[in-house]
A and B are shown apart, each in its own frame.
Chain A
Amino acid sequence: MPSEKTAPPASPATASAGPVQTQSAKKGRGGWWFLLLVIVLYILVWMFNAGFVAASLEHFQRLVVSIAPVLALVFVILWLLNLSQGMQNRLAKLADTRSGLKGWLLAVIGGILSHGPIYAWYPLLQKLENQGARPALLAAFLYARSIKIPFLPLMVHYFGITYTVIVTLYIAVFSVLHGWLVEKIMQDTLPGRQ
């Protein structure tokens, strides 16, 4: 899965599918460059402090062993979500014109189920906005996107199930408040806008 918070596209032209794909291909290589940079950093540090690097590598080994089973679970969930891609798209589209409780629910659930790079969603959200979607629902959708179901097992691994449930519930609930506040600011600053 490509990164969620990514560098912005070079121009507004990303609203089309082509540049998004190009950026995605570049990001695919970006991960390997990142790994190479970290390895270079290790080599540089090793030249000055070999003991520090040895201790860091020991910790790295322990980390890999401890999170490997969790990562397997992460990818099973990711695979299941990829299977339900059509449902996610329908939810995202439904969240545009509906108002009331149903609109909020669809925005939040659509946000939670959506995945992939954030900038890939901007063109769709822009289209929905042009069709009259409430800024509140767009903001709630974007906020709820921060709940990543496939990655929750790793959060449980580090912080426990109670912590994970509490954080996830708060983010889901606050996505509605967040959307409402954003819309309030938009209305206050742009009186003509509904």
Chain B
Amino acid sequence: MSVLQVDVWRGGESGSFQRFEVPRLESQTVLDVVTHIQRVLDPTLSYRFACRVGMCGSCAMTVNGRARWTCRTHVAEVVAGGALEIAPLRNLPVIKDLVTDMREFFDKWAAARGQFRPSASRKDDFARVEPDSPRRQLVDAGIECIGCGVCYAACDVVSWNPEYLGPAALNRAWTLVNDVRDGARDERLAAVAGDAGCHACHTHMSCTERCPKKISPTAAIAGLKRATLGAALKGKA
């Protein structure tokens, strides 16, 4: 049986990598490797996961330098010379080992007006949205986000400007801008048009490159750039 050499981040913002030897198994995921370490080798290792099937968005880590969802990343895809380096997500405060504080990530969803604001009341009839209407298609392109933080960790603009709302929050805003039932379009565009909003994006496309759900936040941000420009020309934002 072959053995994986796994370097795992231990500590908080400052710390170091600790080497573990983990048996290599068939169809093994990176999350399996971390779980083996915690259950068999060192129970003090902290990490996060819940669903194990790519739905909950809680197990993202930096694997060999790149942000990934670990539950659906096979070791075979990422192993380099029989070795793995597993670290917490970048651009977020490290609480301990592989666990980051996601607070600022989700606070930025709220700052980007990520909440749906209905334009109708419960007394009105159901809204009818044709599945193949252009705006619904734009919503579909971004709605499957699981909030894992991979795009946020991959984004260098977040590193350079900590106020930057980031790809996930802007993607969320764009899905709502295209929601025909929503009544807060102007406020939302104003919220994402500032220095820390969509215009801060440098189109590195790291978010699009790394999103495990194959969403393109860059597309959403480009849409917001056009929409905010349109609003500005109309004197709204």
Please indicate whether A and B come from the same complex rather than being unrelated chains: no
Residues of A within 8 A of B (CB): none
